[in-house]
Chains A and B, each alone.
Chain A
């Protein structure tokens, strides 16, 4: 495999550097507010009554939004219960199972600059 000089000297790319701003708590908070405002706008758009669904329930204001929100929240809380029910240790199926093995290095071209 040919060397990739661009990543040799500057492991963090310019795009990556710009995106690190996303990790600041105040930026995260602002993004959540932005998302909430976007949701509100989408909800208000329903007052234009442009949808004439095949089922009556579709014409309720904000039906899709609330259904999506509830579905997502339900999935997350249901999986917490499911995980305790069927979650097991990685070596549950013994040592000759792929979950326990490291991926063979010969197939890979691992390049990590974190320890340089």
Chain B
């Protein structure tokens, strides 16, 4: 146990746990908010100064676990998670709900613990940690709808953990190892069941196609500040796990390509802007999964870089829409519009986030996404490359244009909300600054990447290609808008795979219940009839009015006695002769 504690003390997770433990001891208010800001700063410091290598080992139920495996891949994820936790805490400065503060700390801590896990058991513990901590950010909304959504979210997240531990058990049985290393071996055709289960668990949290809908279901249901934290950790932890465990798995390229495409269409028709961002998050994960699938140094660098930039601009977009929700009470496109008048700063930060995710030159998305696109092209995947370029135009449509346009411009909703509070503006300002800084000085980010980078994003050819793609798409938007082809936003929802477990399965279960109960009630009615009939027959014979209960004259008795004696006599006669 002591080796466990001393090892745990070497991890950055310690500071999140200490902060979460200290939180209730402090008076409500700014002191608690300060604690939530300090923990990520210390965590980043610990990660920055952590020596490379594997250490902080301990023995857990007879298995040797490693809590710190420090290399460039884990460090870049650890640092961006710490930065995201800091920005989310700053954005949530006004929150007085200690449940949310504690949940955010433990959630960020678990995600950081997971990226430094050197073995699968440690990974599993933190994997479940993120699920348990994060659900409170949804429940904190304190409405029946949020409770139901949280339950669905928790079932799927815990389900992914159960699949993970089952996979680990199978994997341990076949290999005798719990080390968290690349599991690709000599190709998927030779993978054991354990490895497939582990990949499935990663795939659920990474929102693979058809496993994705927990994300769009739950993130818009969380609190204003909770969604900012949710957007950063769970899915990018899964991306890290894929990059660590399954680099160069070719079919992931196609999985990723599908992920970049289908959310575009769902995002485009969605009315709730926070759900639009959740679909857009799914689409961005697709780019990272393609990078994992290609598996070259360039593409894995791309995945790490894109995760880094994505966490920042996605947080920024969720923050700006969150600020709108905070001031107006709604995040629905159909209810918003024209807010630039009174929320100009929030609008500008939102536009910076939109430009970053759309990968305009000088913004962060440009310097990270191009690594993945070039890797796909270099390795000669023409269709995947074409899909990714298409998806890049799609990103502009739903995140680049739709989010800022429908919230801050479009038709005037008549709403004149106050500008976002100062701490929110500060958090958004810092995040926006980071997005632009990375876009202008990409080498700062490139120096953090897992492999040495020999890449120049700012070539004339590259800038021209990207500007053509985006500006022509903008022209398409302007023309469609001008001539009334652009669909209006109406209050509505859209079906997705959650329909299966929110409508179809309950309907099937209802049908089965109705069937079983009908059969049961008919059977028991039949049995009742039979029993009643039997009872009545018996009562007719033995009841008070029955045959047996009748008063019999004495003569009958004598007669029967005589018959009995006669019979006995007859039997004796026969036997004796």
* A residues with CB within 8 A of B: 1-2, 4, 6-7, 11-13, 15-17, 19-20, 22-23, 28, 31-32, 35-36, 38-39, 42-43, 45-46, 50-55, 58, 62-69, 71-73, 75-80, 82-83, 86-90, 92-93, 96-114
Determine whether the beta carbon of A87 is less than 8 Å from that of B415: no
Name the A residues within 8 Å of B472 (CB-CB).
39, 42, 64-66, 68-69, 72
* A73 and B460 alpha carbons, distance in the complex (Å): 27
Q: Is there a chain A Cβ closer than 8 Å to B389's Cβ? A: yes
* A82 and B329 alpha carbons, distance in the complex (Å): 29
Nearest-CB residue, chain B, relative to A86: B495
Q: Binary interface profile of B, 328-343, with partner A (CB < 8 Å = 1, else 0)?
A: 1110000000001110
Q: Is there a chain A Cβ closer than 8 Å to B52's Cβ? A: no
Determine whether the beta carbon of B502 is less than 8 Å from that of A93: yes
Query: Which of B145, B326, B474 is in CB contact (< 8 Å) with A109?
Result: B326
Q: Binary interface profile of B, 409-434, with partner A (CB < 8 Å = 1, else 0)?
A: 10010111111011000000000000
Query: Which of B382, B396, B493, B503 is in CB contact (< 8 Å) with A72?
Result: B396
Determine whether the beta carbon of B416 is less than 8 Å from that of A114: yes
Determine whether the beta carbon of A82 is less than 8 Å from that of B468: no
Nearest-CB residue, chain B, relative to A100: B145
Q: Is there a chain A Cβ closer than 8 Å to B456's Cβ? A: no
* A69 and B477 alpha carbons, distance in the complex (Å): 9
Determine whether the beta carbon of A98 is less than 8 Å from that of B145: yes
* A6 and B345 alpha carbons, distance in the complex (Å): 13
Determine whether the beta carbon of A64 is less than 8 Å from that of B466: yes
Given A64-B465, A64-B466, A107-B141, A72 and B417 touching (CB < 8 A)? Answer: no
Chain A interface main SS type: helix
Nearest-CB residue, chain A, relative to B143: A101
Interface residues in B, total, Cβ within 8 A: 83
User: Assuming A64-B472, A65-B468, what are 17 further A-B pairs, CB within 8 angstroms?
Assistant: A7-B418, A12-B341, A16-B341, A17-B341, A32-B479, A39-B471, A54-B385, A64-B468, A68-B396, A68-B472, A72-B396, A88-B494, A90-B492, A101-B146, A110-B326, A111-B418, A113-B418
Nearest-CB residue, chain B, relative to A103: B329
Determine whether the beta carbon of B329 is less than 8 Å from that of A55: no
Q: Is there a chain A Cβ closer than 8 Å to B50's Cβ? A: no
- 10 shortest interchain CB distances as A-B pairs: A111-B418, A16-B341, A68-B469, A71-B393, A65-B472, A98-B145, A64-B468, A54-B377, A65-B468, A72-B476
Nearest-CB residue, chain A, relative to B140: A107
* A61 and B141 alpha carbons, distance in the complex (Å): 53
Binds A, one of B164-172, B229-237, B262-270, B543-551: B262-270
